[in-house]
Structure 1
Amino acid sequence: MERIPDIFHGTCDEERPELVVHVATTISTVRDIELTDTIHDELAGRQLLPGEHVVDSGYISPARIERAQRVHGITLLGPVIADHSSQARAGSGFDKAVFTIDWDNEQAICPRGATSVSWTELRMKENTYLQARFAEADCRSCPDRTRCTSSPTRPRSVAVLPWPLHKIRARNRLDQHTELWQRRYTIRAGIEATVSQNVRAHGLRRSRYRGLARTHVQHILTALACNVARLADWIDTSPRTRRRATHFAPCAQPPDDLPNITSRVTALALVGDADLWHPIEVADHFVAVAGAADLSREERRLRQAGAGQAVHRSRLTPQQSAAALRDRHLACLAPT
């Protein structure tokens, strides 16, 4: 079954609710960076263009930064991929950043002062690069050859983007290491929470339909449900606790009549399914849960894990065992 990824984009204003404003659904072979321009064009058609679009490294490149600013006036903020050449990874080699580019004369000058002898266009990864190649005689006699190239015979060559894109890449690589840039970029954490909410609460990653068009409709409805929930939370100003109590919270309170409750749970087990659990196991499980309120988290986890072994010894499936345990807890809370 082919995976159909979803792409959500939302607002992140501090004084307003964070809402999903754009949804894109593609097949798995489409890369994220291919959709950046499409997303901006569709937002422009709906008059929802942002002044600043914060994205991850999968959506950004110097060409995308330049087009977003030139066509739509958008500041595309995100980490530009670093130089992964062997010289840059070594830390002590001659990477592209140490070469001086003479754009007027279309030449590159190496740290040793040698000048390139050729300047040609090179098409690589759907981008046009300008490749400067040095003379073989200059590279062969260079004392820093091992720091510059790994080839034993060929001369060094340097491929750079055209001047406007080269300038954008160099500036962004410097800026993204500053504290100011990193503070600006922290706002993007909100979209990760949005994706997590839609995946965990609204089943975003499981398609209920076949086909790209129907799946896209499901993604739009999922985003709509997320927006409704967030608007309701934003309108509701009542204070909330940091962690919401579950329906089983009363079971964690140590009861005053623990023996009576234990006998009730044992009776329920015998009346319902005498062969589901042994009576002592059912009672022990409830005692372990109900008497764990004053224990630490680790102690409570160990006690519940030990008591829950009765579930795995039953002849029911894990889903049926969980449902049966839930029904026992609800039954013990019901008034007699």
Structure 2
Amino acid sequence: MHQTLAEKNLRPEEHYVDAGYTGAELLVDSQEDYGIKLIGPTRINPNWLSKLEGGISLYDFDINWEKEEVTCPGNKSSIAWRAYRQEGKYPQDRIQVRFSRRDCTPCKLRKLCTRSDIQSRILNFQPQARYEALKYTRDYIASKQGQQDYRIRAGIEGTIAQAVGAFGGRRSRYRSQVKTHFQQVMISSAINIVRVDHFLQGKPKGKAQISRFAKLKIAP
């Protein structure tokens, strides 16, 4: 997509995307290759620590990239730093850091850091450029300014919902990529026609539907 936009001289400085496009690799590559800054929520971490109140996550550690050393919230430094290549379906470079049992075992924060009764905390994270890009995006989108800026996506989210709900945009009626693309273009045209018709007839915009369960939510 970015390559096509660049070829047409339509490359934006910022691109607001959903969580499916804010992986560390995409964040770095889009900036380095096309000068485009991706902005959007990062994927939810399924780790048990993210669900634990006060849980100590990777981003609570202070990383010194030059010294190849990590300091934990308990002010203890790592004792091992190892760069390695993670194999699998999506191979990537990773860094593993390990802390001392002598420091971790008596630590008052242990229950918020690891489930192991014996092993010390071990961290696995991406190289500096990708790690910092992901952390910056995560912190920015969680800030008031980031949330306010991200509201710009509300319009396209509504368009996607209309395309899927009213025009069957989630499924292709055809097999070839060319025909599928043609279907999407026709759906886009149909949405424009419907919106123009509603505007000319003075029809109000549809209100968001709230489920019965959501209506039970107690107002603050």
1:158 aligned onto 2:120 = no
Q: Tell me, what secondary structure is at the counterpart of 1:91?
A: coil
* Structure 1 residues 118 and 219: alpha-carbon distance in aligned structure 2, compared to 1, 3 A threshold: same
- In the TM superposition, residue 201 of structure 1 has moved relative to its aligned partner by 4.5
**Residue from 158, 183, 193 that aligns with 1:193:** 158
> How far apart, CA to CA, are the structure 2 residues paired with 1:52 and 1:239?
36
Q: Tell me, what secondary structure is at the counterpart of 1:192?
A: helix
* Structure 1 residues 208 and 99: alpha-carbon distance in aligned structure 2, compared to 1, 3 A threshold: closer
> How far apart, CA to CA, are the structure 1 residues paired with 2:109 and 2:188?
57
Deviates more, 1:120-129 or 1:43-52: 120-129
Q: Tell me, what secondary structure is at the counterpart of 2:142?
A: coil
Structure 2 matches for 1:55-74, cutoff 5 A?
55-74=17-36
> How far apart, CA to CA, are the structure 2 residues paired with 1:199 and 1:171?
32
Larger Rg, first or second structure (1 or 2): 1
Count the aligned residue pairs. 203
* TM-score of the pair, normalised by structure 1: 0.52
* Structure 1 residues 147 and 243: alpha-carbon distance in aligned structure 2, compared to 1, 3 A threshold: closer
Which consecutive unaligned segments of at least 5 residues does structure 1 have? Answer: 1-38, 245-336
Deviations 1:215-260 (A, max 9, x none): 2332233334445x27x839x985724279xxxxxxxxxxxxxxxx
Q: Tell me, what secondary structure is at the counterpart of 1:176?
A: helix
**Residue from 65, 73, 77 that aligns with 2:39:** 77
> How far apart, CA to CA, are the structure 1 residues paired with 2:161 and 2:59?
39
Residue of structure 2 in register with 1:242 after alignment: 204
Identical counterparts, % of pairs: 31
1:118 aligned onto 2:83 = no
1:146 aligned onto 2:111 = yes
Deviations 1:255-282 (A, max 9, x none): xxxxxxxxxxxxxxxxxxxxxxxxxxxx
Residue of structure 2 in register with 1:103 after alignment: 65
- In the TM superposition, residue 165 of structure 1 has moved relative to its aligned partner by 2.3
Decide whether the 8 Å contact of 1:118 with 1:133 is kept in 2.
yes
> How far apart, CA to CA, are the structure 2 residues paired with 1:193 and 1:93?
35
Aligned CA RMSD, in angstroms, stands at 3.0
* TM-score of the pair, normalised by structure 2: 0.76
Decide whether the 8 Å contact of 1:82 with 1:173 is kept in 2.
no
The residue type paired with residue 47 of structure 1 is: N
Decide whether the 8 Å contact of 1:118 with 1:132 is kept in 2.
yes
Q: Tell me, what secondary structure is at the counterpart of 2:6?
A: helix
Which consecutive unaligned segments of at least 5 residues does structure 2 have? Answer: 207-220
Decide whether the 8 Å contact of 2:96 with 2:124 is kept in 1.
yes
